[in-house]
């Protein structure tokens, strides 16, 4: 490409026995939006981390406007006009927006901070690209979507001409994602060049000019968005045709878990308000809602991480008091947390250690107070093989796994010995099409085997596809359940907007 602002030439990178990038070459033109598409663990983030200087490649070169970029030097990448917005934000929650944006832009020994000039520059960039922001707002008080906006503004404040976004919609709602891509298109129209890493076919087709597909660390295809389809891209990603599993009719068993008028107060604020539901054996109950409406407190309560303020909880018909994590594990409740990095696994520990973490005192994995490493390694190998966890051996550090493979490790740890109850919070968030199909198949298999599954998700399609019954959560309150056979996206969208609450209030006013 003669007008390329960026050229990646023959880049390879190996981590131990894993070849993360294998002789990758691609280019990016001025004003172009390129999607880097691939399965979890395909090498997308590694390649962009090499471009930004976080990793040094074993082979290959990177050219910006024809000039070779020094390897392993993020400051050199920033000076060359490269900006990166990470999937996990690198911002300080206790600082203001302006302070976060200015961090690292002034010399440590400066006599004074040019706050006024910085504020004017930030607001000019905000106005130019439609990224509305309050420079004096404390970052920790902002929503996830607003925090991502700050990450983008920080890159633009450093005069980025090439912007890399790693899974930019992984933690955004659908509305926030639509707004983001409108912003990215405006940036491209004004001459910025963008690469965004994704595995979501809808957003790739809608936002990209060109799509580069990675599989197994190699470029396997390149397509113009107008000349391909989601079906072709899915097949290119995984190397075979991808089909989602289908929920079969079934008859639920006895009530496994029941909540009666449960409330949770945190810091003087009611996060759950008189929540009631019943979950049966061999059933998937879907809890749908917009992020921030009480899903996290509900998952934490049922996982033993949060105490209820009032109400009753029954396991298999027997009332239970305060649950702690040990009680939950002992009761046969499996947990897939929404935040796999902070609540699901410890990155610095080996894969085998994370595999046995919740059952470390079990006779199967400890003898005379000492951990049986051999048994733990064998158990981890079973999970790796049975749940297709790619990117490491039982002895590898868990942080080296991609997000999707870490999720499969957590899923395998919980489903290896069939749990009686499974709390699955956002189980397919951040996963590629093939991994989503695999996770859904595992959840439906658990249902067939009699596990009671509570599915907490913000994905309407996921809940409609998997759940037998569905309840909406709005402002910490749960709606009555509806049969999934009678549910559609429009009706559930109205429930997520609280339409059922108005009807409930009207009934009580009569």
Between CA 43 and CA 492 the distance in angstroms is: 36
- Rounded to two decimals, the pTM is 0.72
* Each residue's pLDDT tens digit, 172-205: 666 777 888 888 888 899 999 999 988 778 888 9
Least confident piece of the model among 221-230, 232-241, 250-259, 468-477: 232-241
Domains of the chain (ranges; CATH) run 4-238 (3.40.50.300), 255-332+419-509 (3.40.50.300), 347-401+408-413 (no CATH)
Residue 240's pLDDT is 81
Tokens of 387: 């749940």
* Each residue's pLDDT tens digit, 415-469: 988 899 999 998 987 777 778 888 899 999 999 999 999 999 988 889 999 999 9
Q: Residue 316 above 50 pLDDT?
A: yes
**Rounded to the nearest 10 degrees, how much is the dihedral formed by the CA atoms of 66, 70, 75, 77?**
30
Please work out, in degrees rounded to the nearest 5, the angle formed at the alpha carbon of residue 97 by the alpha carbons of 93 and 99: 90
Residue 174's pLDDT is 67
**How many CB atoms sit inside 10 A of residue 505's CB?**
9
Residue 40's pLDDT is 76
**DSSP letters spanning 256-324:** EEEEEEEEEEETTEEEEEEEEEEEETT-EEEEE--TTSSHHHHHHHHTTSS--SEEEEEETTEEE----
**Rounded to the nearest 10 degrees, how much is the dihedral formed by the CA atoms of 368, 372, 375, 377?**
170
* Each residue's pLDDT tens digit, 1-40: 447 999 999 999 998 878 999 999 999 999 999 999 988 7
* Each residue's pLDDT tens digit, 124-144: 988 888 888 889 988 888 877
Reduced to 3 states (helix: H, G, I; strand: E, B; else coil), residue 168 is coil
Q: Residue 224 above 90 pLDDT?
A: yes
Residue 137 burial (C-beta neighbours within 10 Å; 0-12, 13-18, 19+): middle
Contact 287, 454 (CB under 8 A): yes
Least confident piece of the model among 178-182, 310-314, 394-398: 178-182
DSSP state of 58: S
**How many CB atoms sit inside 10 A of residue 192's CB?**
22
Mean pLDDT for all residues in the chain: 87
Residue 13 burial (C-beta neighbours within 10 Å; 0-12, 13-18, 19+): buried
CA distances from 181 to 8, 90, 149, 225 (A): 24, 21, 12, 15
Q: Residue 159 above 50 pLDDT?
A: yes
Q: In terms of pLDDT, which residue wins out, 473 or 180?
A: 473
Reduced to 3 states (helix: H, G, I; strand: E, B; else coil), residue 467 is coil
Grade residue 373 by pLDDT with cuts at 50, 70 and 90.
Answer: very high
CA distances from 200 to 8, 82, 312, 488 (A): 23, 24, 40, 22
- What percent of the chain clears pLDDT 90, i.e. is strictly above it? 49
Q: Which residues of 348-367 are buried (b: 16+ CB within 10 A; e: fewer)?
A: eebbbbbbbebbeeeeebbe
């Amino acid at each position: 490409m003669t007008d390329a602002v960026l050229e990646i030439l023959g880049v390879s990178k190996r981590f131990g026995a894993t070849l993360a990038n294998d002789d990758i070459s691609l280019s990016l033109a001025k004003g172009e939006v390129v999607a880097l598409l691939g399965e979890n663990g395909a090498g997308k983030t590694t390649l962009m981390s090499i471009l930004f200087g976080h990793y040094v490649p074993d082979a290959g070169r990177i050219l910006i406007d024809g000039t070779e970029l020094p390897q392993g030097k993020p400051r050199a990448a920033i000076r060359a006009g490269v900006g990166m917005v990470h999937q996990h934000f690198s911002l300080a929650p206790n600082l203001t927006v302006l302070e976060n944006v200015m961090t690292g832009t002034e010399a440590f020994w400066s006599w004074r901070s040019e706050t006024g000039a910085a504020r004017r520059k930030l607001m000019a960039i905000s106005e130019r690209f439609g990224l509305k922001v309050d420079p004096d707002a404390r970052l920790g008080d902002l929503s996830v979507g607003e925090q991502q906006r700050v990450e983008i503004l920080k890159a633009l404040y450093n005069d980025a001409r090439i912007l890399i976004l790693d899974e930019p919609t992984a933690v955004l709602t659908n509305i926030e994602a639509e707004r983001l891509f409108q912003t990215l298109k405006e940036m491209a129209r004004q001459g910025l060049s963008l690469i965004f890493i994704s595995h979501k076919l809808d957003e790739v087709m809608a936002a990209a000019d060109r799509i580069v597909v990675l599989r197994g660390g190699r470029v396997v295809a390149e397509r113009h968005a107008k000349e391909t389809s989601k079906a072709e891209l899915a097949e290119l990603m995984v190397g075979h045709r991808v089909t989602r599993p289908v929920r079969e009719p079934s008859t639920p068993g006895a009530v496994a878990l029941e909540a009666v008028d449960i409330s949770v107060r945190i810091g003087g604020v009611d996060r759950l308000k008189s929540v009631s539901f019943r979950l049966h054996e061999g059933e998937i109950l879907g809890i749908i809602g917009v992020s921030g409406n009480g899903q996290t407190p509900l998952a934490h309560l049922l996982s033993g991480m949060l105490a209820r303020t009032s109400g009753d909880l029954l396991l298999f018909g027997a009332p239970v008091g305060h649950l702690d994590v040990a009680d939950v594990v002992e009761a046969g409740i499996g947990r897939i947390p929404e935040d796999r990095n902070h609540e699901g696994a410890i990155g610095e520990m080996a894969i085998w250690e994370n595999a046995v973490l919740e059952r470390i005192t079990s006779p199967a994995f400890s003898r005379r107070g000492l951990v049986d490493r051999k048994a733990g390694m064998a158990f981890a190998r079973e999970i790796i093989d049975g749940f297709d966890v790619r990117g490491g051996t039982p002895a590898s550090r868990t942080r080296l796994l991609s997000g999707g493979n870490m999720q499969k490790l957590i899923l395998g740890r919980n489903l290896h010995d069939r749990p009686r109850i499974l709390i699955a919070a956002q189980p397919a968030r951040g996963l590629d099409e093939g991994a989503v199909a695999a996770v859904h198949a595992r959840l439906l298999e658990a249902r067939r085997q009699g596990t009671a599954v509570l599915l907490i998700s913000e994905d309407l399609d996921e809940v409609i596809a998997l759940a037998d019954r569905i309840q909406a959560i709005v402002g910490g309150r749960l709606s009555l359940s509806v049969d999934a056979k009678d549910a559609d996206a429009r009706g559930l969208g109205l429930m997520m907007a609280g339409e059922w609450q108005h009807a409930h209030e009207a009934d009580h006013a009569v």
